[in-house]
Structure 1
């Protein structure tokens, strides 16, 4: 935080509330909190504001209180306040919680939501007669701005409130929202911007992102009062902390016991497939038959709404969920949050804990269930980080050009535009403040005709420049096409899971569906399902009691934050800290120190050893699963070149292990920094990484449509279209705008290349190579992953347990 950030002074006079609002507070024996009144003061002064306040501090009311006061004192029709949320569920929850006080005070204020789930007739009516308060998402706002009547709709807009701003400001959705705010500011010059968050590590970064034209001094920083410190415990197994696994499934009975002793519990999982697994595990040990639900993004809207309503009404004792419920959803009876597996970041942990005892003066209660011994260290690191007030770092990037192309097309759909005027408007959004004239020309050229290699095709000629220099949409069909296909979230291709009677349960990844045959079974939506038929868009199933497989979903795993990784490194090198650990974790580290070594925080420890006719190399790099997956591909390619006959690799968040026929005698040669200049570039270009990245930017940039009027393309059709274009551009126009955007995505987001570079720098300076006669204790968690390849689906848990114990027995011998 800079020292010149404007914060309200304690000597500033506090604003007073209108009688109807003061009476509402008094009837509940509440008093407005200091930061809520500070937000009112900033609003009355016409200043933009960023509120950073802990979960349960009344951030949402802080954002809406100035609006309610203004509408009470100056009643008006038309849109007054736009509230932007990262999640549909959060927008619906806010509407539910905001409607209650509005109705209790008898205020003539309409509050509505507008998301992708809103019926089309209501969407049409909202553009003609908008409510005073509209709750929406960045994507829905962008679509609203694509209509000619958007100027009329937003002309009187007074405030935009961006909730949970940390959740999307640093990504592509934040780019889209930033561009949308720049357009709104042009339509309504006096528009006031507000952002809310509980977990902001860099307030100045967010102030600059929020401010018009990046003017940080225009945004006041309002700090909330500190809340009660969270009450967090690490659940230890009744036996020993497991050697392997990342889910905490061993603790199902202990988790169920916690559910039985609390009013309402949310059990958070890091992936959708784990969410389904944990739900099934808990149901099997639910001796009291307590009502338990499951919630994740692949479930149908009806299924999600049903569960959300049941939670709001207090009809569930537990809900197993993913990040679909991380942010802001407030169910008053939730008094415990359980995190299955390690949280991967202190900010995420705080967000999830905030769902418990959602009040400022009451401690949030949380329980962490580590999956293995490394995850125990990570869980302990997360607790220490929370206690120290350390949040995960925020990284702001330059705006993506595929997002810019989508926004420019939206502007053109609303009305013809002047190039210079639009560029000036776009530069008012911080991610695009450095956009050059040349880059903007390339974006316009891409939308005009698709680029040099595609300009012969009419379907890519979406924009036309008239003789006066004005740009317009070439044909009305392109306006329809844009509105059907606009959006930033490009999900993995999915098939709808349906019963024969047509009832939809949700979606599973097409790649998983392709692996199924008639009669196969899998868990989904809390049910065991048997496949009856697979067609182009649907997976037809029936309920069964037979044992089931588990669906797998695409996308990267949550990355272990750099701050937690650093803390775990320090744990290894500081034996004085070990007294806080369980005895078996202490023993594990002590045996490792005796058998091999424990790396210092800046060291890269590499161990090599033989086992069962293979040679293994294990590097303890702590750079996260995503970076390790990329590194594993690069290392095995280099090993192949060196004639070491690699057989494969496995990785977790903490280490990577390769196995080969021949021994790695010189690991330093494998980890040299030039691997990013040669093998990395070659690998990305030849692998499917770049094609997958191109598919995303092509869809976002509007080059390939996902949907036609009355018909949605299948994932196979979209993939075929993008692959075909990709091959043409790679051959004839390698400098195409979208290829460059895809390359940037592949480097920055799919491979964690920045962490790879840091790892290789560390390897060059600090590598400690120890050659050993057998496996070491520290290697057991990652080596157990190799065992997964040896067991059949459905029997893996028991087999892996046996494998882990065998490896551990070998590793813990001191002879």
Structure 2
């Protein structure tokens, strides 16, 4: 007898009953969608059982009550794709228990870059029923000749935390893999899960085969308990004017750790994770077990910490985005966000790590490092309370990712250009690719492009007389699998003890600056350099160190939604009563001396300081956009003879200083700044070279690794710079130049948000001329000369400089008090 859609098998119902749990509506809705043969997108709060919801149709397919006299499925049945290796490992651990207790014959395994090669080979020959993997590992699996046979019986793919990567290049790669899988297994059902989607319909479009959005059912979860979010404030002190480390809060944080079972302390950078861990450890008089976790630590170190957390052995863990997503550690009863949250969705995701139960409120504490961060934290607190979410917008898929995929398909076997294009165009990310563009991509994979076609090493595929494309030599498949991937970090050095024990990785630029005898702090330990050999930094334990490795990484800009909230808060004078006295005084003096930023308008201030002229632009558009605006404005100032000397950018403000005063900022902000001048600036800056380096690596043009050998970062940069110069001269319209431009505009310069600033400036500029620095300008001016240091590295100096500037900005002159 065929079950009704959504009818829970008796084995699953009994398991829920034994735990005195009830099956949530959205869980049965996910099963019903699968029973109807539809794809599904589940949007549900953290702790709502999202992962089990995604797997429910898989478990049901193995239940004897559903199968009847039939045999359980054989071969690979379900793929689970997550953005993090740690999440896949955690899901495996949490999925094994219900499978075993239900008595289901289901084999579950993980596959990632950390999986041993012999296990990977066995998985291709004898796959498990459920394979937990990442977008990169899935793409590599699809590059093997046995892929069509391996995936022929695939019935389901579950994409967890889809918001974390769908809008970026990892999402492009996964979209291409989805198209390939659907072609191999036409009955494949797609499911995606998330707690923090601002625009679910956009994700339905991404998840669906192109043009079939109605085949994706939107399943909304039952509402959970409202999170309890507080902002930590200094006791009897003032919120700092500047700085990001919030080290003032360390004594209070130690108290929080003491009064909670397990505290998860999030930071926005790896440097800050090491720095806060060190500060906490120095203040940890009771020797509470505190750990550290970030993406540059070794696999062994990360797994050791993850196991300790799962076993309840840690009282606190300092971490980065490496633990943002879905890790289900039930003993966490407090989440702390150090510094600005940057977005309400990201904050909701992190908050959800506490309690991880739908009916129990998650407890979180926000710790602002300065006054602007307080405003941002307050805005995020309100957004969470109102259920407002934000996120990145979708954009066309990257051509460098498409080139990597084409190469992967060639590694799998010969292909016909038209058939592969039709497959690729079945995804929203690449529906825009026409025959001419695809021909350029294939030609690039085949020859490297017109300017490089005479070099044999770029000839990877060739077209036979029957029109099929194939590899020119089998060794190209091995090279592709060694180098494929989307994440292009700065080149790293392995940090090891002499006995071979790995601690993790630091950036090559940092490691190369060290000499034997130098000390630094990493993985929560003080280390002394013994030698640098073959891209390995050999170290031993040291007694004490103050230096912490810094990492380039990607800055997380304040979201557009939060920025707009902060501007609205600033213009709502009645609402200032909710703020601490020192923040309210700061804004009141600003309002008295100058203006406040308002929605739809751009505040610009000009004032003298230390015999120079300063101009502050309060954009609230994020660091990348303000950096770009600073570059463009100073070029225009140069042309007008104003003698610009420098600028400093924060998420909120751009401050430019010059020999002559700016009388008309509107002239510096005319919209044509984004036509010729933007192009000239990007071409002459390092940004396009950096973007080209990334797309050259992703597309496979430049290899980071060769069999038995790994290139240093300098070697990779030298190779990409050399090719970049050749292409700029002889083939400026090369496919990768185009891809680098797209990256430079979208990510590195954030041109869309620069355009928003110019749009506001075109409507109305509030230009205020002052006799001295304003209170609102203090945080940015105190950064001058220190902005290149890692966040937290110079906090004491920043505080002293900020207090000095603040005394000028906030001073009441005698005649003003009369």
TM-score using structure 1 length: 0.97
Q: Deviations over 1:677-721 (max 9, x none)?
A: 233212211121111111111111111111111222211111111
Please list the CA deviations of residues 767-802 of structure 1 after superposition, one character each: whole Å capped at 9, or x if unmatched. Answer: 111111111111111111115379999983333222
- Indicate conservation of the 8 Å contact 1:295/1:321, yes or no: yes
Distance in 1, Cα, partners of 2:795 & 2:325:
32
* 2:701 maps to 1:710: no
CA distance in 2, matches of 1:640, 1:273: 36
Question: What is the rounded CA distance, in whole Å, between the counterparts of 2:764 and 2:89 in structure 1?
Answer: 52
Confirm or deny that 1:334 pairs with 2:332. Answer: yes
The correspondence for 1:673, drawn from 653, 671, 674, is 671
1:426 counterpart residue number: 424
Partner of 1:172: 169
- Residues 196/250 of structure 1: CA separation in 2 closer, same or farther (3 Å cut): same
Note the alpha carbon deviations across 1:157-206, whole angstroms, 9 max, x for none.
01000111111111111111111011111111100010101011111111
Instruction: Tell me how far apart the structure 1 counterparts of residues 728 and 555 of structure 2 sit (CA, whole Å).
Output: 29
Distance in structure 1 (CA, Å) of the matches to 2:736 and 2:413: 25
Instruction: Work out the CA distance in 2 between the residues paired with 1:656 and 1:532.
Output: 43
5+ long unaligned stretches in structure 1: 1-11
Q: Are 1:492 and 2:483 matched, yes or no?
A: no
Give me the whole-angstrom Cα distance separating, in 2, the residues matched to 1:250 and 1:626: 28
Per-residue CA deviations over 1:490-534 (Å, capped at 9, x if unaligned) read 111111112233222111111222333333322210012222323
Which structure 2 residues correspond to residues 342-381 of structure 1 after superposition, within 5 A? 342-381=340-379
Answer yes or no: is the 8 Å Cα contact 1:787–1:800 preserved in 2. Answer: no
- 2:383 is aligned, of 382, 385, 392, to 385
Could you tell me how far apart the structure 2 residues matched to 1:666 and 1:533 are?
56
- In the alignment, the residues of structure 2 paired with residue 793 and residue 682 of structure 1 have an alpha-carbon distance, to the nearest angstrom, of 31
* Corresponding residue number in structure 2 for 1:5: none
Taking only aligned residues, the RMSD between alpha carbons, in angstroms, comes to: 1.7
Asked if 1:573 corresponds to 2:564, the answer is: no
Taking the TM superposition and a 5 Å limit, the aligned residue runs for 1:466-477 are 466-477=464-475
Question: How far did residue 543 of structure 1 move?
Answer: 2.1
Sort the Cα spacing of 1:141 and 1:282 in 2 relative to 1 into closer, same or farther, 3 A: same
Q: Distance in 1 between matches of 2:103 and 2:56?
A: 16
1:510-659 → structure 2 map (5 Å cutoff):
510-659=508-657
Count of residue pairs brought into register by the alignment = 804
Matches within 5 A, 1:668-707: 668-707=666-705
Deviations, residues 430-484 of structure 1 (Å, cap 9, x unaligned) = 1111211100010011111111110101111111111111111111111111111
Per-residue CA distance 1:649-684 (angstroms, 9 max, x = gap): 111111011122332232222222222223321221
Q: Is the 8 A contact 1:298 1:507 kept in 2?
A: yes
Shift of 1:541: 2.2
Tell me the alpha carbon deviations over residues 72-125 of structure 1, each in whole angstroms, 9 at most, x when there is no partner: 234122111000001111001100111122222332211100001000000000
Query: Retained in 1: the 8 A contact 2:243–2:791?
Result: no
Task: Please give the alpha-carbon distance, in whole angstroms, between the structure 2 residues aligned to 1:787 and 1:484.
Answer: 42
Q: Once the two structures are superposed, what CA deviation does each residue of 1:35-65 show, in whole Å capped at 9, x if it has no partner?
A: 1011111111111111110000000000111
Q: Distance in 1 between matches of 2:421 and 2:789?
A: 58
What is the TM-score with the length of structure 2 in the denominator?
Answer: 0.96
1:211 maps to: 208
Alignment match of 1:297 (pick from 289, 295, 298): 295
Change (3 A) 1:602 1:353: same
Distance in 1 (CA, whole Å) between partners of 2:190 and 2:145 is 23
Alignment partner of 2:307 out of 306, 309, 314: 309
Cα offsets for 1:404-429 (capped at 9, x unmatched): 11111111111111111111111111
Contact 1:549–1:793 at 8 Å: present in 2 too? no
Provide the rounded CA distance (Å) in 1 between the counterparts of 2:789 and 2:723. Answer: 40
Task: State how far apart, in whole Å, the 2-side matches of 1:793 and 1:499 are.
Answer: 28
Provide the rounded CA distance (Å) in 2 between the counterparts of 1:787 and 1:458.
Answer: 48
* Aligned-pair CA distance for 1:14: 7.1
Conserved in 2, the CA contact under 8 Å of 1:608 and 1:664?
yes
Q: 2:120 aligns with which of 115, 120, 123?
A: 123
Quick one: distance in 2 between partners of 1:667 and 1:246? 29
Looking at structure 1, the residues matched to 73 and 259 of structure 2 have their Cα atoms a distance apart, in angstroms, of 49
Whole-angstrom CA distance in 2 between matches of 1:359 and 1:382: 22
| Cα distance in structure 2, aligned partners of 1:795 and 1:557 | 17
Residue 155 of structure 1 and its aligned partner are, at CA, apart by 0.6
Bigger drift between 719-728 and 513-522 goes to 513-522
Partner Cα separation in structure 2 for residue 134 and residue 115 of structure 1: 10
Query: Which residue of the partner structure matches residue 9 of structure 2?
Result: 18
